[in-house]
Amino acid sequence: MNSKKTENGSHFSVDRNVIPLIGKSALVGLGAGVAVGAFRWVVTWVAHTCYAAYDYVHARPSLILPLFAALVLLGLIVAFLMHKYPMANSSGIPQTKGLVTGDFNYSWWRILLAKFVGACLSTLAGLSLGREGPAIQIGGCVGQAVGDNLSKNETERRILISAGAGAGFGTVLGAPVAGMFFAMEDMLKYFSPSVLLSFFASATVSQYVAGIVFSLEPIFHFGYAPLFPLHTFWMLIPIGFIVGLAAIVYNRALLDFPPIYNRIIKKPQWLRPVFVFLLAGVMGLTIPDVLCGGDRIIEMVSSDLALKTLIILLVAKFLFFVVCFASGCPGGNHFPILVLGALLGSIFGYVAVYCFGFDVSYYPSFVVVAMSAYYASIARTPFTGLFLILESTRQIQLLLPMLITAMIAYATSVYFKNPPIYDALLDAMPKKEGEVPAGDVRAAKLKIDFGAAEQISSIMDFPLPEHTSIDYILRDEEKIFPDETTVILPGDELVIILSEDAPKGTTEVGGII
């Protein structure tokens, strides 16, 4: 740390140690740009192939039996991958968060390959899962690879894993700023200038590499969505409240239905993915618009759709997605969140246009606002949701109504104690390491009261016993991994563990104030 004095006598600090971290993060971005860019390109082609295959079979009924035979085969392959590499199951976001928190550890290259193949096969069958969760885990695997080999400590390794996850998020959605905020709000849950620069380097390099190599375009192509007249902003209050309630339903379904699904299909376990692959075949021949992440729904959302059609699509997409997610098949839920939010916004737009006399040009404005609020209230990451929709739709003029609606939806979600979905999914997973078991004398928790917080303002001032270190801080049920700039607040719980330099035979954390 170098300190220089300015003309008026004040000091400013320049931390040169952040430069190597930025370089490592840029390396993570380079790897994530190639890996996630390739994944997005392949899975997009696979999704188009899926739609074309179902359309082809629908016109030729004699091919229905071969279609279902192929689906069984694909389901068995995915079942094998799920059994062989369980950390590659489902969206992959809780597993990546587990890497950051220290709850999990796995072979990065095995999980990267298994996730890539498994998610592509799920998409080929038409499962109602997105590409964003796998992209986040693939990016996190790249960050893990760099961190395992180049990081100087565990904190830096966790930053690099988060940087890779954020780069994957931004690259697969074409929203690098949203990727930065995702890494801060959802992965690391911590902010500092060095962390921000690290995430910035990773996200921008990844987006640039993917754009150059794979010529990736924005995922949404909305026309201009005009700003609502200011005197109509009152309508954002009920919209935000309803979206917040819908987010609660979404989170409860994702948390409560998987155990029910597993009880229904206990054995053999390979039947769990095979069943949803067969269900995808049924949906593909009856309601093909709900297949995959929901690309077709985004393309068809307009004021020309009848209200009944919008409601049917919303219910069918939601139910099909919940069953697919419960099966544990590789695939994400970010894009389905955006699709469901777009359908909610379409219903709001329909009611506003045909019941309250709004001009039809405002219809896409309702769609954009609802998408942002729905994501923010489900993941409890308002800035990620805001920048994600701003970057992917280019509708900057809707910033104010997006902020208002997201704030109301977020507040509704918090008021009814709706947990952040990825934290809740991680908590529901069996932990292998990283938690503090009851009675474990190698780790201890210390609650900081108001008086202590006034005397110990910085992590650097905390009087740690010899040969111990702070693993993480629990603040409002969130884990924060500290660095030298971290401030201790009243109510914080410090998880203190034995350091690696503890003398051999030391087994207890003692002497804590």
Q: Is residue 169 part of a domain?
A: yes
| Domain region containing 471 | 443-498
Strand bridging mode 468-475 / 493-498: antiparallel
Q: Is residue 236 part of a domain?
A: yes
How much of the chain exceeds pLDDT 90, in percent? 66
Q: Is residue 313 part of a domain?
A: yes
401 and 348 in contact (C-beta within 8 Å)?
A: no
Q: Is residue 339 part of a domain?
A: yes
Average pLDDT over residues 52-76: 97
pLDDT band at residue 456, thresholds of 50, 70 and 90? low
Q: At what angle do helices 271-286 and 108-125 cross, to 10 degrees?
A: 40
Q: Is residue 348 part of a domain?
A: yes
pLDDT band at residue 313, thresholds of 50, 70 and 90? very high
Q: Residue 253 is part of a domain; what is its CATH number?
A: 1.10.3080.10
Number of domains in the chain: 3
Gap between the Cα atoms of 351 and 374, Å rounded? 18
Q: Is residue 300 located within the same domain as residue 162? A: no
Q: Is residue 121 located within the same domain as residue 147? A: yes
Residue found under tokens 């062989």 = 84
- Mean pLDDT of the residues in the chain: 86
Secondary structure, 3-state, 182-211: HHHHHHHCCCCHHHHHHHHHHHHHHHHHHH
Give me the pLDDT at residue 445, please: 58
Q: Is residue 155 located within the same domain as residue 39? A: yes
Q: Is residue 6 part of a domain?
A: no
Gap between the Cα atoms of 436 and 441, Å rounded? 9
Q: Is residue 65 part of a domain?
A: yes
Q: Is residue 87 located within the same domain as residue 42? A: yes
Give me the pLDDT at residue 341, please: 96
Extract the tokens encoding 176: 């690098």
Which of 379, 400, 428 corresponds to the end of one domain?
428
Gap between the Cα atoms of 248 and 343, Å rounded? 16
Gap between the Cα atoms of 134 and 202, Å rounded? 18
Which of 368, 397, 428 corresponds to the end of one domain?
428
Q: Cα separations (Å) of 420 from 9, 187, 254, 425?
A: 46, 12, 12, 9
pLDDT band at residue 377, thresholds of 50, 70 and 90? very high
- Through-space distance between the first and last CA atoms of the chain, rounded to whole angstroms: 29
Q: Is residue 504 part of a domain?
A: no
Q: Is residue 253 located within the same domain as residue 317? A: yes
77 and 121 in contact (C-beta within 8 Å)?
A: yes
Give me the pLDDT at residue 488, please: 74
With 0.85 as the threshold, say if the pTM is over it: no
Task: Check pLDDT > 70 for residue 452.
Answer: no
Q: Is residue 421 located within the same domain as residue 450? A: no
Q: Is residue 381 located within the same domain as residue 308? A: yes
Q: Is residue 136 located within the same domain as residue 234? A: no
Which of 401, 428, 455 corresponds to the end of one domain?
428
Q: Is residue 236 located within the same domain as residue 210? A: no
pLDDT (tens digit per residue) in 101-131: 888 889 999 999 999 999 999 999 999 999 9
Strand bridging mode 443-447 / 493-498: antiparallel
Kindly report the number of other CB atoms within 10 A of residue 302's CB atom: 13
The helix (H) or strand (E) run that includes residue 2 is: strand 2-5
Q: Residue 458 is part of a domain; what is its CATH number?
A: 3.30.70.1450
Give me the pLDDT at residue 444, please: 58
pLDDT (tens digit per residue) in 486-507: 777 766 777 777 655 555 444 4
| Between 465 and 107, the higher pLDDT residue | 107
Q: Is residue 90 located within the same domain as residue 197? A: yes
DSSP state of 499: -
